[in-house]
Each structure stands twice: as structure tokens, then as C-alpha cells.
């Protein structure tokens, strides 16, 4: 978590996904209660945050010597021993902001709600009751002697079971559940993936996988440079809701979604003397990325691990363009590039990374 991200968090007001604390809780049941309330809150934010060392008015307090301060292992053990029905994805960051120590508990916002305890925790008025759902509305938590409303609990289950999502939204959620996908063949040649908990969602190849020959410079990294493309149709029942281009690489030994490409012209550069360079990438949690994760888990792929040697991953197209263009311009060589010498010859492509041509690919250079 960098300085700008911390600044943006602290500049927020308390809400469904942010709770400020000037110090750590006096007892652990209060901490577990706050975690439950945040974990169950309804928000579009990717994460929820419990921030220690800052109050609602943005005043900072020294938590360095707070005897109740937690380390990440302590926090994980505390949450595990509280006996939740599901364990939320939690991280604890110990940070400094403007010379002030702050701790941030980050809770991932995923559709595993509702979270609740399977046995009572705490004593007396501090008891968090088993089976009771607590949540957060605005900056207010459900009190320990209260409960989320029936409507709030219904919304949690609707989110958990994707009831209100469109088919396009559901397919993205289901692809993340990569271990529940299966495959077979239609007419002995067309590859067919289906989501076992809801077989209405399927991904089907249009032709046999060796139907269309394909070439792009990145396929030269494989021992067998023959590659083929296939069109995958994404269906909900009989309705097409999307499609992907799948490239069967290394003579068809494994398939990956067609990666995105960014080309950088560098005629003005003396450092690189070719016409342009190309870099290939996926956007994290995009359809292509999620399908790649799913097919790697479901289908017998051989050699697919090698793609990390030439394909990058970014959080957005904008991030990819910014990172790659600046990296190339500044000659830092943090990322990998294919350099194009002559468009009329396939073997005129090679890979450059870290200022040197990788030995693995040198056989492709004339």
C-alpha cells in the first residue's frame, strides 16, 4: 500500500467500508465485532478498511506502544479462533504516514456474506452471539445486542448466490471459481467447457482446434512454432453472451486467450535501432485472464507455464500503456519486448529484457 493510497483512504469520511480508530480495541470481542460488521457491509468498494491511529477528524495518535496492537499473525489467529462460518480474506498493514505509525486491516469484499460466528465469543455485554448477523450502515455498526435487518440479510444472500447479476456478470464470477469447471467434446472435435454448479453457462469452440493457422511474433518462443486459432463462444443457455479468441500454441500442446498487444515506435531511439517493439499482456481479472486461469486448472495443458516469460500482467489498459511506454522510453527494461527487424521474415523477431537478448530466444535471430 503506497503513500497515495493511504492518503486517499484517510481523506475519506467514515462509511460502509472505512472505520477509523484512534487506538486498538480494549478487548478482542470489540475487534471481532468491527471485523464482522465491515465484512458484511454492502458496498461497491473492492476492500473494506479498519484504520488504527487516526480518528474521524483526521487527527493522528501514536499506536507504536499500544499494548493491544496486533501483528498480522496475531490477527489471523484471533479471527480463526473466533469460529466464523467463513473466514474473510484479511491483511494487516503496519505503515507510516507523514511520520505517523498507522495500522490498516484490509478486508476483501467478496460474495461470501453473511459472515457470523458459530459459537458465542466474549462475556456479558461484550458477547458476540453465535448465528447473529452483524453489519454496517453508513458509519454505524449493528450493536452487539442487535441484528442486521431481514432485508439486509436477504441482500447478502442475493449477492452470495449472484441472484441479481446479469449473465455477463455471472460468467465473470463463475470463471473465478475455476475448480468447478469441467470439459468434454462436442462431435468429438469441439471443445466444450461448462460450469458444473450451473451448466447453463458454457464455453464452446467453433471449429476443431487445428482449423486456422496463426502467426504472431510471440509464438516463436516455443519449440514448435506452429500455432492455430479457435473462436470460443460463451453461452448462457442457448444465448451467446460473448466470445474469445483462443490460440493453440507449441503445435497445439496448450491454448491461451489471444493476449493484448502494445506497439511502441522508436525510430528516434539510438538504443533500439529497429522499427518498433511489441509487448503482450493480460489485464488482471479480465475475461481473458480469468479464462486462462480456468483452462489451466481444468484442461490438461503442457508447457503453458512458459508464457510468463513473455506476457505481462497489468490492472488496466491505461496502466499497461503508461508502464510499457515509460519503461521503454527510459530504457529501464523492467518489461519484455519483441523487437521487429523485418516484417517479411518470421525469424526477424527476438525478445529483449533487462538490456540483453535472452539466450532462450537467440536462436530466432539472424
* Cα separation, 116 vs 39, whole angstroms: 10
What is residue 336's predicted lDDT score, i.e. its pLDDT?
Answer: 80
Q: Please identify, among 114, 142, 160, the residue that sits at the C-terminal boundary of a domain.
A: 160
Predicted TM-score (pTM) of the model is: 0.68
Q: Does 114 share its domain with 216? A: no
User: Could you tell me which residues come within 8 angstroms of residue 12 by beta carbon, excluding any fewer than 6 positions away?
Assistant: 18
- The number of folded domains in the chain is 2
Q: Does 156 share its domain with 231? A: no
Q: Does 283 share its domain with 334? A: yes
* Cα separation, 231 vs 209, whole angstroms: 9
pLDDT digits (tens, 9 = 90+) for 304-344: 777 877 889 998 999 999 898 888 777 777 888 777 655 44
Retrieve residue 103's grid coordinates. 495500522
Q: Does 126 share its domain with 194? A: no
Q: Please identify, among 160, 185, 212, the residue that sits at the C-terminal boundary of a domain.
A: 160
What is residue 357's predicted lDDT score, i.e. its pLDDT?
Answer: 39
What is residue 177's predicted lDDT score, i.e. its pLDDT?
Answer: 92
Tell me the pLDDT of the chain (366 aa) as tens digits.
788 889 999 999 999 999 999 999 999 999 999 999 999 999 999 999 999 999 999 999 999 999 999 999 999 999 999 999 999 999 999 999 999 999 999 999 998 999 999 999 998 999 999 999 999 999 999 999 999 999 999 999 999 998 999 999 999 999 999 999 999 998 877 899 999 999 999 999 986 656 688 888 788 778 888 899 999 999 999 999 999 999 998 888 889 999 999 887 755 444 444 567 788 999 999 999 999 999 999 998 877 777 877 889 998 999 999 898 888 777 777 888 777 655 444 444 455 554 443 433 333 332
Q: Does 112 share its domain with 260? A: no
Domain boundaries, position 100:
3-160
Q: Does 80 share its domain with 220? A: no
Q: Does 204 share its domain with 311? A: yes
What is residue 299's predicted lDDT score, i.e. its pLDDT?
Answer: 93
What is residue 361's predicted lDDT score, i.e. its pLDDT?
Answer: 38
pLDDT digits (tens, 9 = 90+) for 262-297: 887 755 444 444 567 788 999 999 999 999 999 999
What CATH number is given to the structural domain containing 22?
3.30.950
Q: Does 192 share its domain with 334? A: yes
Q: Does 173 share its domain with 146? A: no
What is residue 337's predicted lDDT score, i.e. its pLDDT?
Answer: 78
Retrieve residue 333's grid coordinates. 527494461
Q: Does 210 share its domain with 333? A: yes
What is residue 225's predicted lDDT score, i.e. its pLDDT?
Answer: 83
* Cα separation, 35 vs 68, whole angstroms: 16
Amino acid at each position: 500500500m503506497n503513500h497515495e493510497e493511504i492518503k486517499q483512504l484517510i481523506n475519506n469520511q467514515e462509511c460502509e467500508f472505512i472505520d477509523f480508530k484512534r487506538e486498538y480495541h480494549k478487548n478482542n470481542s470489540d475487534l471481532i465485532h468491527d471485523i464482522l460488521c465491515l465484512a458484511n457491509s454492502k458496498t461497491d468498494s473492492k476492500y473494506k478498511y479498519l484504520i488504527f491511529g487516526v480518528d474521524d477528524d483526521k487527527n493522528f495518535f501514536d499506536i507504536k506502544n499500544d499494548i493491544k496492537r496486533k501483528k498480522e499473525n496475531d490477527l489471523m489467529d484471533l479471527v480463526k479462533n473466533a469460529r466464523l462460518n467463513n473466514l474473510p480474506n484479511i491483511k494487516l498493514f503496519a505503515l507510516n504516514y507523514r511520520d505517523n505509525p498507522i495500522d490498516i486491516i484490509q478486508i476483501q469484499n467478496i460474495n461470501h456474506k453473511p459472515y457470523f460466528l458459530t459459537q458465542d465469543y466474549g462475556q456479558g455485554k461484550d458477547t458476540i452471539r453465535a448465528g447473529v448477523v452483524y453489519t454496517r450502515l453508513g458509519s454505524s455498526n449493528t450493536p452487539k445486542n442487535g441484528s442486521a435487518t431481514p432485508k439486509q440479510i436477504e441482500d447478502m444472500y442475493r449477492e452470495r448466490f449472484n441472484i441479481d447479476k446479469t449473465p455477463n456478470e455471472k460468467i465473470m464470477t463463475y470463471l473465478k471459481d475455476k475448480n468447478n469447471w469441467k470439459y468434454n467434446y462436442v462431435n468429438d472435435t469441439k471443445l466444450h467447457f461448462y460450469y458444473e454448479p450451473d451448466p447453463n453457462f458454457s464455453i464452446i469452440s467453433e471449429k476443431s482446434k487445428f482449423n486456422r493457422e496463426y502467426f504472431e511474433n510471440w509464438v516463436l518462443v516455443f519449440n514448435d512454432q506452429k500455432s492455430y486459432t479457435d473462436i470460443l463462444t460463451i453461452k448462457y443457455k442457448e444465448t451467446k453472451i460473448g466470445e474469445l479468441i483462443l490460440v493453440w500454441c507449441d503445435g497445439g500442446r496448450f491454448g491461451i486467450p489471444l493476449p493484448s498487444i502494445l506497439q511502441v515506435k522508436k525510430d528516434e531511439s539510438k538504443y533500439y535501432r529497429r522499427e518498433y517493439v511489441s509487448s503482450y499482456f493480460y489485464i488482471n481479472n479480465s475475461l481473458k485472464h480469468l479464462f486462462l486461469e480456468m483452462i489451466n486448472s481444468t484442461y490438461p495443458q503442457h508447457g503453458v507455464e512458459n508464457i510468463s516469460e513473455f506476457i505481462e500482467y497489468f490492472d488496466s489498459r491505461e496502466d499497461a500503456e503508461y508502464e510499457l511506454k515509460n519503461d521503454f522510453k527510459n530504457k529501464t527494461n523492467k518489461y519484455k519486448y519483441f523487437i521487429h527487424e523485418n516484417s517479411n521474415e518470421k525469424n526477424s523477431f527476438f525478445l529483449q529484457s533487462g538490456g540483453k537478448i535472452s539466450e532462450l530466444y537467440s536462436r530466432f535471430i539472424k
